[in-house]
Structure 1
Amino acid sequence: MVNYFVKINMGRHAEWRKIAKKQRRKRMRIIKAKERDKIFFTDWYIKQQELEEKLLLEQINKQNDEENEKWIQAEKIAIDQWKKLQEEKERLKQKRLEQEAKLKLEWELEQKKKQIEEEKIKAAQEELKRKQEIFMANLDLFLSGDSVEPPSELNVMHETRPDAELCPFFSKTACCRFGDQCSRNHQYPGISKVLLATNFYNHFGLSNANVNEYDTDIMLEFEDSDTYKEYKDFFFDVLSEFEKFGRITQFKVCNNYEKHLRGNAFIEFAELRCAVAAYRSLHTRWYGGRQLSLQFCTINSWKNAICGLQLRRRCPKGRACNFLHVFRNPNNLYNGYYTHEIVQEKDSTPRSSVRSWRWSESPEKDISNRTSSRRSESSDRPRRRSRHHEGNNKHYRRTSPRRSDRC
């Protein structure tokens, strides 16, 4: 019981000591605060505070002045840069305006020049059209026989290199492996009796004869006899079409392997008028799905143009020769070298009297008029004699439709 009261008293004393210490600290803080307040309210302290505030204000003003000076300098720099930028913009604007004015002036000059050129071209086209009408009228008169001489526009000679020497191969064969890029001169006549159809005859055995190392077996199933058999059909089909315009004195087709000679067909007429009529009618026509390209050429001597060693099969270059290697025509027609040598012996193989399917009328106009006029002309011509009416052991003379009266 006694111990219990002792513990209670001891606990109360600890709380009392704690409260006493707290009160004591509070009194000490109050005393210090009063002493500090006495110091703060003295004249010396007030002066010190005023000095410190004055120094601080001076520092702030000085710092503000420095910042203000920096801002003013920066503003001056920015204003100078802005002025330079404005001056540069004004200079670029002025330059752009000058350039636009210059371009506008150039465009106006160009338009004026273009207009003058268009007027010149229009005048030239009208003059060319007028000359073309006169030329076509003179050409029609020449073809109809009313005029003896051909138009003067056709009696000209076109040269590729007038200052150079004549190309010997072109002068003889009217063909050159270099074409118009040859360093020597090529002379093209305006009109002549000889027509050249470049690469006219086309056959697999002829165009694929020069095999390369990868196609060594491509020609095993094709022989020269196959090529010649197709050539016979081609010969009779084409010859009958050309004979409609007049008498033919030479008909040669090349079997060379060279590209500039391969399949070239040379057709020489007896009269110049007939050659011009054939050129006008058959140029750009279609045959066998290919467009026919005709041009006038000059062959001074067939004997010099055709390879002399071909017939004896002794040409060292073979079909790669640059002289003409020609097919032997069926019925021994036009196989001579001279224009007056026309062999009249013919076998019993008739030519086709009807138009072949290979000839296409698609590039021509007025097909119905042409076909009707052709039928009326065929009705007026004498009928051909059939080989069955002649007998098996007799030779017959075949007459082909010709237009010599038109020439």
Structure 2
Amino acid sequence: MSSYHNQHRAYGSEQDKVNCTFYYKIGACRHGAKCSRKHIQPASSHTVLCPNFFQNPLYAEQLAHRQLEKEKEDTTGAPTLLPFASKLDPSKLQQDFDAFYKDLCVELATNIGEIDEIIVCENTNAHLNGNVYIKFLKEAAALKCVSILNNRWYDGRPIYAELSPVENFNDSVCRQWDAQDCNRGGLCNFMHVKRPTKSLASDIFKSQRKYYIQKAEEEAIHGAYSRARV
């Protein structure tokens, strides 16, 4: 019994030698299917992961730059680092991201369930780039979300969705990135969160709360009316 409790406490922690700590904390691991530890996908969760869902223009720009470096390296036979400076307009990038964030929130909150939190990653490594984590207030909504999104497309691309073991993002998010002080850059294995404009996020979640309060009141009135007719 003692051994069972010890294993249960160690699950997903640094002491767990069987299950992957990064998959448990981040919902993704840089080793993928080649990881020496287990990636156990939960049967139930409040959180849905849509891997590589958000198409980050900065990522595409950096990929093109890396390709130029590789071509130069193939020509010269020596490692090549070319100067990189983004040519993208930050205000336009934020505007486009805000539109994506609003689209996602309105669609999911209206048709699936009440959202607790949405995390969008702007890392430039393959296993975190564009990952979108949607945490619902109810597990049933998360399950419904997986079923619906796996049959949907967005911006000309199919959406992939799965339940994620991540229930608390406190240990998942890179605090150094938030403080603009992450020395690992976009290749960091913790979430570099792309933030919507504060006023937009505030308005969206206030509207969502109002919508669900009104919906509950309407359902209560309808229920009372139905019982009165019986």
One-letter code aligned to 1:283: N
Distance 1:164 1:180, change over 3 A: farther
CA distance, structure 2, for counterparts of residue 199 and residue 172 of structure 1: 18
CA distance, structure 1, for counterparts of residue 49 and residue 135 of structure 2: 9
When Rg is computed on C-alpha atoms for both structures, the one with the higher figure is: 1
**Where does residue 284 of structure 1 map in the other structure?**
151
**Where does residue 237 of structure 1 map in the other structure?**
103
Gaps of 5+ in 2: 1-15, 70-81, 220-230
One-letter code aligned to 2:128: L
**Where does residue 190 of structure 1 map in the other structure?**
43
CA distance, structure 2, for counterparts of residue 327 and residue 256 of structure 1: 9
3-state SS of the aligned residue for 2:118? Answer: strand
Whether 1:169 aligns to 2:22 is: yes
Alignment of 1:52-201 (within 5 A): 165-201=18-54
How many residue pairs get matched? 185
3-state SS of the aligned residue for 1:306? Answer: coil
How far is the alpha carbon of 1:186 from its aligned partner? Answer: 1.2
Distance 1:225 1:317, change over 3 A: farther
**Where does residue 327 of structure 1 map in the other structure?**
194
- Deviation above 4 Å: which 4+ runs of structure 1? 215-220, 399-406
How far is the alpha carbon of 1:285 from its aligned partner? Answer: 0.5
- What do you get for the CA RMSD once the two structures are aligned? 2.8
One-letter code aligned to 1:199: N
Whether 1:303 aligns to 2:170 is: yes
Q: TM-score when scaled to structure 1?
A: 0.41
3-state SS of the aligned residue for 1:251? Answer: strand
CA distance, structure 2, for counterparts of residue 203 and residue 276 of structure 1: 27
Query: Which residue of 130, 142, 159 maps to 1:263?
Result: 130
3-state SS of the aligned residue for 2:87? Answer: coil
How far is the alpha carbon of 1:212 from its aligned partner? Answer: 1.9
Q: 1:56-77: per-residue Cα shift (whole Å, max 9, x none)? A: xxxxxxxxxxxxxxxxxxxxxx
CA distance, structure 1, for counterparts of residue 186 and residue 95 of structure 2: 18
Q: Is the CA contact 2:19–2:39 (under 8 Å) kept in the aligned structure 1?
A: yes
3-state SS of the aligned residue for 1:237? Answer: helix
CA distance, structure 2, for counterparts of residue 219 and residue 288 of structure 1: 27
Distance 1:229 1:191, change over 3 A: same
Whether 1:248 aligns to 2:115 is: yes
How far is the alpha carbon of 1:314 from its aligned partner? Answer: 1.1
CA distance, structure 2, for counterparts of residue 220 and residue 333 of structure 1: 26
Q: Which of structures 1 and 2 has the larger relative contact order (alpha carbons within 8 angstroms, sep 6+)?
A: 2
3-state SS of the aligned residue for 1:279? Answer: helix
How far is the alpha carbon of 1:299 from its aligned partner? Answer: 1.2
CA distance, structure 1, for counterparts of residue 83 and residue 177 of structure 2: 26
How far is the alpha carbon of 1:226 from its aligned partner? Answer: 3.4
Q: 1:210-246: per-residue Cα shift (whole Å, max 9, x none)? A: 4227265886421444332211110001111110211
CA distance, structure 1, for counterparts of residue 66 and residue 59 of structure 2: 14
3-state SS of the aligned residue for 2:183? Answer: coil
Q: TM-score when scaled to structure 2?
A: 0.71
